[in-house]
Amino acid sequence: MDYRGVQAYLSELTSSGVKLGLGRIKEFLKRLDNPHHHLRVIHVGGTNGKGSTTAILGSILNAAGYKAGVYTSPHLYDYTERFCLGGKKINPARLTELFTLVSPLASQMAAEGYGHPTEFEVLTAVALRYFYEAKADPVVLEVGLGGSLDATNVVEPMVSLITNVSVDHTEYLGRTVKEIALNKAGIIKEKVPLITACDERQALAVIFSLCRQKKAPLFWIKSQAAGALNLTPLPRQVPAAGQVSWESKNFSLSGQTFTVKGRKDIYEDLFIPLLGCYQLSNAALAIAAIEVLREFGYKVSKQAIRQGLATVRWPGRFEIIRQNPTVVVDGSHNHAGAKNLREALDDYFKGKEIIMVLGVLKDKEYPKMVAELALRAKAVIITKPRNPRALDCRLLATEAVKYVNQVLIKETVPAALHQALKVARPEEVICFTGSLYLVAEVLSELQNNL
């Protein structure tokens, strides 16, 4: 098997879809000598921001001198992005070696009646084996989908994080915030500290209740909106949990300056190049996790935190990739993400006219996403990411015309990109959003053809 063979193998597995459950991954890892039993893990779940939080944690730990393993999903360009060690993504040749090891075991499982592991289960097993062989310490593991039955939920972490909870992936996780919160909170383990920045009242009630049942110490990142929350049913938990807060000091197109008040210390005048105030919440989560890791013997100085934040990279999330006109790409793919994006556009581009280029997958709450974003747009270009689950352009356009007079359909992402660049004035903003698959195509087209 060469690396092209790995890509073809994974492409074939992708077509089999999502099959949640822990039975296959446990059997798979058993055949790989249970590498996860030897890893020290930070487990990061939630609806939005878990990838950013994982990247921030990895950057801080690497700045502190640790060889951190970082596992994220999905990728923008290539599978190698999902497996990082010490700040560097895995070499394709090394990834091929690992797949040469694991793919026969997966086939053997299918032959014996266990069922073939899914794409994400195979990737997770590869990640855990890779980090074990490379002696990664610690490992920051991003949940793939949900929590309770996600393949990453086989680990016994040092600390667990839930960034936030909102409606997404309803066909797998439930249709209400409470149902989704129960699924996300499935990563809470007995007596393992849990840190959350969730500010949704119903979800918080679920998280607080499960932490109490499992005797898991709970730390709550207070958002700027937290003062408006009605938390009266939760009076005992809030004082113990609400021990970490953040405050924005300044922001520009190059990044943000902020302060975090942690449980143990105050971290002043920090800088992060990631844009959007929601990234400050993610950074506060990461710092709160670092404070817990110090109790496990990890030595992470304030300077390492400062350096890790200042050097973190997480492409495709409210990223400005070109000027005159300004081109923004953002992988938001649900209503909560669209709301964050709209607020960020208001903050960074107040008074500027925006051409919105939208392409989403058909299993998303696209009417709510369009309602959130289209009102901020001068014009909307509808397109279709190169993905079998992509929504038909006409359905998306039907929603957009409710809010905007200028709605144009371009069936492919390259065509939409060229059209947007053609009609935008230098002082205007073009925003590509709705799916990371869309963002990946835009970045690839700009890199290769423009």
CA of 294: how far to CAs of 64, 281, 445, in Å?
12, 20, 43
Segment 195-220 shows an average pLDDT of 93
Residue 379's pLDDT band, with cuts at 50, 70 and 90, is very high
Q: Do the beta carbons of residue 149 and residue 173 sit within 8 Å?
A: no
Q: Do the beta carbons of residue 192 and residue 219 sit within 8 Å?
A: no
pLDDT tens figures, 300-337: 999 999 999 999 999 999 999 999 999 999 999 999 99
14's tokens = 């992708």
Q: Which residues fall within 8 angstroms of residue 141, CB to CB, at 6 or more apart?
A: 41, 42, 43, 44, 54, 71, 127, 152, 155, 157
- Say how many residues make up the chain: 450
Segment 118-138 shows an average pLDDT of 98
Residue ranges per domain, the chain? Answer: 3-311, 319-449
Segment 106-131 shows an average pLDDT of 97
Among 9-23, 165-179, 341-355, the minimum mean pLDDT is found in 165-179
CATH no. for 319-449 = 3.90.190.20
Strands 194-196 and 218-222 come out as parallel
Residue 224's pLDDT band, with cuts at 50, 70 and 90, is low
CATH no. for 3-311 = 3.40.1190.10
- Chain position carrying tokens 């969730």: 198
Mean pLDDT for the chain? 93
Task: Return d(Cα 105, Cα 95) in angstroms, integer.
Answer: 16
pLDDT tens figures, 415-440: 999 999 999 999 999 999 999 999 99
Segment 7-17 shows an average pLDDT of 87
Q: Do the beta carbons of residue 325 and residue 425 sit within 8 Å?
A: yes
Is the pTM higher than 0.85? The answer reads yes
Q: Do the beta carbons of residue 374 and residue 341 sit within 8 Å?
A: no
